[in-house]
């Protein structure tokens, strides 16, 4: 395509401490390159002169500390430059975290507290830029040679694996703005729903399991322990959402709470955490560049994430359709359906459904189009406390022949014999 018109190529000159905010259109990708100067996308530096292909719908900012010239090839939904950003505040936080990491690494004390690097948790309402700030802090740390642990507790729009999960993974390199986080064996727990209200107790149990495993891993690894963690959370900050934030802060032993874009949340957290002198609660400005996403966009984004799991980000994977007998698969649901609210019960009665009860599921057509997790559990009793190996998608149920057809990332035997089902659905498009 050497003869392609070059008329769509535009140059953009950025002054120091400013950013180019781009929303790629929904139909075609955008090509972008750095011509001169230095620039980064959410903490990851752009290589000089190499064209990057940004996929449709991506929303990003290219920020420069000292000035840069960029070239764009293609149409965008929107693009504009902004010279008011919260980046100085963010990088100052990074500098303080760096100091704590170095001190933790240098500490020769036996006190486990002094060898523990910062455990940062990022909280705030929906669309306040939590995932983006988490990403920057991780990429800046990785650039300096640290391998911080990224923990994503966002079951709606998480960035480690498919929706409905909480997960953790070490970040060894600055995060690629296009490819995202490489999926080398993340630690994943399957919650199975995209909102915590489906089973709040189960959500807490899984956060506890994840925290325990990380604690064990970090005890044996001084380097990772000093690098610390960055924890991304859900945008649900009222009522039960707030309770879950406190639970996460406590369970993961967070010692730095970064509050984005809401004064009230900051002041509430500061107040409840005031008797924990080793926990800093810091208020940070929300970026004007954060794009709000409505329920429909979020639903679509979830669907793309699941598609990406099976087919790869660039349609570069070929999942396999497998057929099994009903009797080969052992499917469980956790919790006895939605719990009855106390208000719906007779006065004095207690809700009886156990939210972490394991319920065997009979295979029928209700399973069609659901995404199930494959547990590492060796016994059914281990299912709740086990992480998962991956996911399958149910594409057909033949009641007469007692056969079930499912899509899996590869052919052959599943990595475990117990499957977990929730309410996570997907319609293949
Ligand atoms: P959630 O409510 O899902 O938890 P969040 O608070 O984590 O959202 P982000 O995912 O960080 O918010 O940001 C929302 C969107 O805005 C993302 O698509 C992100 O890439 C985009 N975004 C964030 N900062 C900027 C910026 N400075 N310029 C352009 N786009 C941005």
DSSP letters, 331-349, are EEEESSSSPPPGGGSPTTP
Please list, in sequence order, all residues whose beta carbon lies within 8 angstroms of the beta carbon of residue 377, skipping any fewer than 6 positions away.
383, 385, 386, 416, 418
Most confident of 22-26, 36-40, 216-220: 36-40
Q: What is the predicted pLDDT for the residue at 285?
A: 97
Verify whether ligand 1 is closer than 6 Å to residue 209 (CB atom). no
* E strand spans, 115-249: 119-123, 149-152, 165-170, 187-190, 229-232
CA of 341 to the centre of ligand 1 (A): 34
pLDDT digits (tens, 9 = 90+) for 284-322: 999 999 999 899 989 999 999 999 999 988 788 999 999
**pLDDT at 6 exceeding the cut of 60:** no
Probe target for ligand 1 pocket from 150, 159, 291, with the most ligand atoms within 8 Å of CB: 291
What number is the average pLDDT over the span 376-381?
Answer: 96
**pLDDT at 68 exceeding the cut of 80:** yes
Probe target for ligand 1 pocket from 21, 80, 132, with the most ligand atoms within 8 Å of CB: 132
Average pLDDT score, the chain:
92
pLDDT digits (tens, 9 = 90+) for 86-113: 999 999 999 999 999 999 999 877 777 7
Q: What is the predicted pLDDT for the residue at 3?
A: 42
Tell me the C-alpha distance between 381 and 187, whole Å. Answer: 19
**pLDDT at 273 exceeding the cut of 60:** yes
pLDDT band (50, 70, 90) for residue 2:
very low
């Amino acid at each position: 395509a050497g003869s392609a018109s070059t008329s769509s190529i535009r140059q953009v000159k950025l002054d120091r401490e400013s950013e180019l905010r781009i929303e790629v259109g929904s139909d075609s990708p955008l090509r972008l390159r750095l011509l001169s100067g230095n620039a980064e996308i959410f903490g990851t530096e752009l290589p000089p002169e190499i064209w990057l292909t940004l996929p449709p719908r991506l929303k990003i900012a290219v920020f420069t500390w000292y000035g840069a010239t960029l070239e764009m090839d293609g149409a965008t939904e929107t693009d504009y430059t902004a010279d008011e950003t919260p980046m100085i505040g963010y990088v100052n936080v990074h500098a303080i975290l760096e100091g704590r990491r170095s001190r933790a690494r240098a500490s020769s004390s036996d006190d486990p507290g002094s060898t523990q690097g910062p455990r940062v948790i990022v909280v705030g309402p929906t669309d306040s830029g939590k995932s983006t700030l988490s990403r920057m802090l991780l990429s800046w740390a990785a650039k300096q040679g640290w391998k911080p642990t990224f923990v994503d507790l966002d079951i709606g729009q998480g960035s480690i694996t498919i929706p409905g999960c909480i997960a953790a993974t070490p970040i060894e390199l600055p995060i690629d703005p296009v490819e995202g986080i490489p999926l080398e064996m993340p630690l994943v727990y399957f919650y199975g729903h995209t909102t915590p209200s489906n089973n709040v107790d189960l959500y807490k149990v899984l956060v506890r399991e994840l925290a325990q495993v990380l604690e064990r891993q970090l005890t044996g690894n001084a380097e990772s322990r000093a690098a610390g963690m960055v924890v991304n959370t859900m945008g649900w900050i009222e009522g039960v959402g707030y309770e879950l934030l406190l639970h996460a802060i406590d369970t993961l032993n967070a010692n730095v709470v970064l509050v984005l874009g809401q004064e009230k949340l900051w002041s509430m957290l500061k107040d409840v955490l005031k008797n924990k002198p080793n926990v800093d609660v810091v208020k940070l400005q929300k970026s004007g560049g954060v794009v709000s996403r409505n329920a429909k966009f979020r639903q679509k984004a979830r669907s793309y994430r699941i598609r990406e799991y099976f087919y790869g980000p660039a349609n570069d994977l070929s999942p396999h359709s497998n057929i099994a007998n009903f009797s080969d698969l052992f499917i469980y649901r956790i919790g006895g359906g939605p719990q009855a609210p106390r208000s719906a019960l007779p006065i004095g009665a207690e809700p009886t459904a156990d939210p972490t009860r394991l319920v065997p599921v009979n295979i029928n057509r209700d399973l069609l189009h659901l995404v199930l997790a494959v547990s590492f559990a060796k016994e059914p009793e281990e299912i709740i406390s086990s992480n998962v190996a991956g996911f399958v998608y149910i594409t057909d149920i033949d009641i007469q022949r007692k056969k079930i057809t499912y899509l899996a990332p590869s052919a052959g035997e599943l990595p475990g014999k117990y499957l977990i089902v929730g309410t996570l659905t997907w319609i293949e498009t």
